[in-house]
Amino acid sequence: MPEIKTNNLTHTFGKGGENALTVLEDIDLTFESGSFNSIIGTSGCGKSTLLKMMAGLFDPSDGAMTLDGTVIHGTDRRRGMVFQQDAVFPWMTVAKNISYGPRLRGASKAQQAEIEAKWTEMVGLKGFEDRWPRELSGGMRKRVDIGRVYANDPDVLLMDEPFGALDAQTKERMQSDLLQTWNQTKKTVIFVTHDIEEAIFLSDKIVVLSSRPGRVHHIEEVSLPRPRTDDMRLTEEFLEIKRRLWAMLDH
């Protein structure tokens, strides 16, 4: 089972140059296998940078990250990522986007069709299989993005503000769906958001980063029972955590 650790991780953009910018410093974290973790922090504190490094898109300037004890270096389909920006391929239809990963590994036409059917349904895009991404709304494209990563079946899911662009209702539905899928598959999830309520609702553990440079400011263990339901958002325990985190993000 996949467990991610960061040891003394520090990252400086343009290290050695005159515009050197240290965005992350001494990050020591453990994300247990099968757990749901969130990272919150103010804009520009280095959340996306941290996630991209875990994906293997670039190496930290100091320290290391390990997946099950093996140092992470380079990308790997075991660590899937939903990017903050729109990453849906505009030259592929919805269905072809969804089955992109399996197709890379030579999945047969029949396997592809099965995967396409399953995941378009899961992300609520049934009927849109043959549409071009340009014909979809921003929120729908995000769902294609998410479905594509799910369909690729990674062990670790890195999600960078995936629901940031959605309206409140769609967002809550997507959150419940995400939890349901996570429940069935028990992947390790690392979820970046700046929505505190979202973080509490989804997570076992919330990492609060301070900014400039980003350091681990606080780790909140959320012990709300699972499965989580929408009425939990109003319980005293939930609101208590919310107040505490609010106060932290304030300064």
Partner 1 sequence: MNVLDTLTSRRLWLGVLSVAVCFAAYIWVTNRPDNNPALLPPISDIVKSFFVNIESGSLHTALGASLFRIFMGFFIGTTMALIVGCLVGWYKTIEFLVDPLIEALRPIPPLAYIPIIIIWFGIEEFSRVLIISIACFMVCVVNVIAGMKNVPQVYVDAASTMGASRFQVFRTVAVPAATPFIITGYRIALGAAWTTLVASELLAAQNGLGFLLQEGRRYFLTDQVMMVIVIIGACAFLMDRAFRRIQAYLMQWSEARE
Binding site for ligand ATP (CB under 6 A): 13, 21, 23, 41, 43-49, 84, 194
By CB under 8 A, tell whether 148 contacts partner 1: yes
- Measure CA 215 to chain center: 19
Residue 132 contact partner, candidates Mg ion, partner 1, ligand ATP, none, CB within 5 to 8 A by sort of partner: partner 1
The yes or no reply on residue 211 touching Mg ion (CB under 5 A) is no
Residue 50 sits in the site that holds partner 1 (CB under 8 A): no
Out of 12, 30, 48, 75, the residue judged to bind Mg ion by CB under 5 A: 48
Dist. CA 200–CA 213, nearest whole Å: 24
Q: How far apart are CA 133 and CA 141, in angstroms?
A: 6
When CB distances are held under 5 to 8 angstroms depending on the partner's kind, the choice from partner 1, ligand ATP, Mg ion, none that residue 185 binds is none
Query: What is the total count of residues that contact partner 1 (CB under 8 A)?
Result: 28
Rounded CA-CA distance 41/211 in Å is: 7
Q: Is 234 exposed, middle or buried (0-12, 13-18, 19+ CB in 10 A)?
A: exposed
Cβ distance to ligand ATP smaller for residue 43 or 169: 43
Closest CA to 162 of 185, 184, 143: 143
Parallel, antiparallel, or unpaired for β 156-160 and 79-82? parallel
Which amino acid type is present at position 196? I
Q: How far is the CB of 107 from Mg ion (least distance, A)?
A: 32
- Rounded Cα distance between 229 and 174, Å, is 13
Q: Which amino acid belongs to residue 198?
A: E
DSSP-assigned beta bridge partners for residue 59: none
The residue among 22 and 176 lying less far from ligand ATP, judged by its C-beta, is 22
233 binds, among Mg ion, ligand ATP, partner 1, none (CB under 5 to 8 A by kind): none
Residue span 80-99 as binding mask against Mg ion, x where in contact by CB under 5 A, dash where not:
----x---------------
User: What residues from 118 to 137 belong to the interface with partner 1 (CB under 8 A)?
Assistant: 132-134
Q: With contact defined as beta carbons under 8 Å apart, do 166 and 142 qualify? A: yes
Closest CA to 220 of 186, 177, 249, 179: 249
Question: Which of partner 1, Mg ion, ligand ATP, none does residue 30 bind to, with CB < 5 to 8 Å depending on kind?
Answer: none
Residues that bind partner 1 (CB under 8 A): 52, 55-57, 75-77, 79-81, 83, 85-87, 89-92, 100-101, 104-105, 132-134, 148-149, 152
Residues that bind Mg ion (CB under 5 A): 48, 84
